[in-house]
A = this chain, B = another copy of it.
Amino acid sequence: MTSEYRYQALENWLVQGIREHRWRLGERLPSIRTLCQERGLSKATVQHALQRLEAQGLVEARPKAGYFVTLPLRDTNKPLIFGRIEPPRPVTVSELFLDIMRRCAAFDLLPDLSVGKLPPGIVSLNRSIGRALRRQRGEHHQYYDAPAGVPCFREQLVSHYAKRGWAARFDQLCVTSGCQHALFLALMACCNRGDIVAIESPGFYGALQLLEQLGLQVVEVPSSIETGIDTDALEEILARWKVRACIVTPAYATPGGALMPLSAKKRLIELANVHDLAIIEDDIYADTALHGTPDPLKAMDQDERVILCSSFSKSLSRDLRLGWVSGGRWHDRILHLKLVTQLATSRYLQEGVAEYMADGSLGSHLRRQRNELRINRDHLIASLQAWPCEVRVSNPLGGLAIWAELAEHVDTLAAYLPALDRGVVITPGPLFSASGQFRNCLRISYAHPWNNARSQALASLPELLLQR
């Protein structure tokens, strides 16, 4: 038995244990001393195996505490990280893509609205907004609100983030008309025409459209469907090109619900500091967490270079059009851009939502929704596993969608129009790339309650996808 064999055997045993959920995400592995004793190994061998796991991003060393699982493993040999590094370039979004984006910004599979009951959380939200309208007095309607927004609403956001480890101040927040608006202001504030912006790949297509309209260049950073942006790839990119900003979704990134491990978030902050990068943190999915809600990257931002962008569109209502941005060193510029491009946000709306947050209604809504989303996700994954073809599916801990990877020859983009003919909307993988990657992938949403119609629509897809 060589020493190589020993550390490899231990490594395999640990990987197998993680895969079998003997140790789950966030849990501590047995201590080095315990492993030495129970497996009859030297300290050096045990340390070597653990360091190899750490290098693969599967575990994380915490000083004086031990090694913790950061990644739930998949049971295949396929690379976990998608994408490839290509030089920066201007963005051009094709007409077909725009059409797909417009449709899929609504929802996939069945675009028709379900006509069920309004969820209790939304009934109560609408009542809060109605009360705020009835409370209007005097000449308030004659005044524009301050561009930053109503203090009572921003104070509620501060309390909301305090639970996630970020001690914000209300005057670090600016209210926007949704998260896309926040991202737009953030990019306008920290970039100039022609600058290079790094984005996750696969990643959010709305970011691509923004880059196109603002005349910014894109560089795609290979990203994992489970752990998000690959910081090693980012480091390589930063060494080769002058990147101005990086848009990243640490918590449950679209398309597959990736969750960045703590170690990767630390690394990202370090890289940003070294390369003088603006980090635009898209935090919109955080409140869709199915278990605990992770802390935002912004909570680690010592250097005021993280611009946090978010809204209630994914966790509460897309019709609110209410978001926020915390701009770090770019805060004043963002405030000014908000003023110049839109003046203000409705005061009654912010007051209504502030009341909804203050009386605990948002908390109840998120708890109820969490249970529903978990059920929807499990239904969707089970249905996909019943497909009569090769399909590998992400198993996200939050977000609203899974990422399905089909056999390499499958062309999801070619299936878009034939599916549409049958009344089924699919979201092909290439939408999540500036360079047309991921043709054999699909994003599939689980935001909707599961029902027979959705189930049938999903079951009809393999025939369409495999016939070409």
Q: Please give, as numbers and ranges, the residues of chain B lying within 8 Å of A117 by CB-CB distance.
A: 137-138
Q: How far apart are the CA atoms of A317 and B343 in the complex, in Å?
A: 13
Q: Which of B106, B122, B133, B215 contacts A126, CB < 8 Å?
A: B133
A176: nearest residue on chain B (CB-CB)?
Answer: B342
A129: nearest residue on chain B (CB-CB)?
Answer: B133
- Closest chain-B Cβ to A216's Cβ sits at a distance in Å of 12
Q: Which of B126, B138, B177 contacts A342, CB < 8 Å?
A: B177
A180 touches B343 (CB 8 A): yes
Stretch in A142-150, A297-305, A378-386 touching the partner: A142-150
Chain A interface residue number, banded: 35 or more
B136 touches A126 (CB 8 A): yes
A337: nearest residue on chain B (CB-CB)?
Answer: B213
Q: Which of B133, B215, B319 contacts A140, CB < 8 Å?
A: B319
B143 touches A319 (CB 8 A): yes
Task: Say whether, besides A98-B336, A126-B134, A139 and B184 are in contact (CB < 8 Å).
Answer: no
Q: Please give, as numbers and ranges, the residues of chain B lying within 8 Å of A136 by CB-CB distance.
A: 118, 122, 126, 319
Q: How far apart are the CA atoms of A341 and B146 in the complex, in Å?
A: 20
Give per-residue flags for A86-105: 1 if the beta carbon is below 8 A from chain B beta carbons, else 0: 00000000000010001001
Q: Please give, as numbers and ranges, the residues of chain B lying within 8 Å of A114 by CB-CB distance.
A: 138-139
- Whether A81 sits at the interface, judged by CB under 8 Å, is no
- Whether A448 sits at the interface, judged by CB under 8 Å, is yes
Q: How far apart are the CA atoms of A116 and B321 in the complex, in Å?
A: 30
B346 touches A144 (CB 8 A): no
Give per-residue flags for A435-447: 1 if the beta carbon is below 8 A from chain B beta carbons, else 0: 0000000000001
Q: How far apart are the CA atoms of A122 and B336 in the complex, in Å?
A: 29
Task: Say whether, besides A181-B342, A213-B337, A342-B177, A113 and B134 are in contact (CB < 8 Å).
Answer: no
- Whether A159 sits at the interface, judged by CB under 8 Å, is no
- Whether A130 sits at the interface, judged by CB under 8 Å, is yes
B98 touches A319 (CB 8 A): no
Seen from chain A, the residues whose Cβ lies within 8 Å of a Cβ on chain B are: 98, 102, 105-107, 113-119, 122, 126, 129-130, 133-134, 136-146, 177-178, 180-181, 184, 188, 193, 206, 209-210, 212-213, 215, 313, 316-321, 336-337, 339-349, 447-448
A sample of 9 more A-B contacts (CB under 8 A), given A106-B144, A107-B143, is A114-B138, A117-B137, A118-B137, A130-B130, A130-B133, A141-B316, A144-B313, A213-B336, A319-B346
17 A–B contacts from the bound complex (CB under 8 Å) = A106-B144, A107-B143, A117-B138, A118-B138, A130-B134, A142-B317, A142-B448, A143-B318, A184-B342, A209-B340, A210-B340, A213-B336, A213-B341, A319-B344, A319-B348, A321-B344, A321-B345
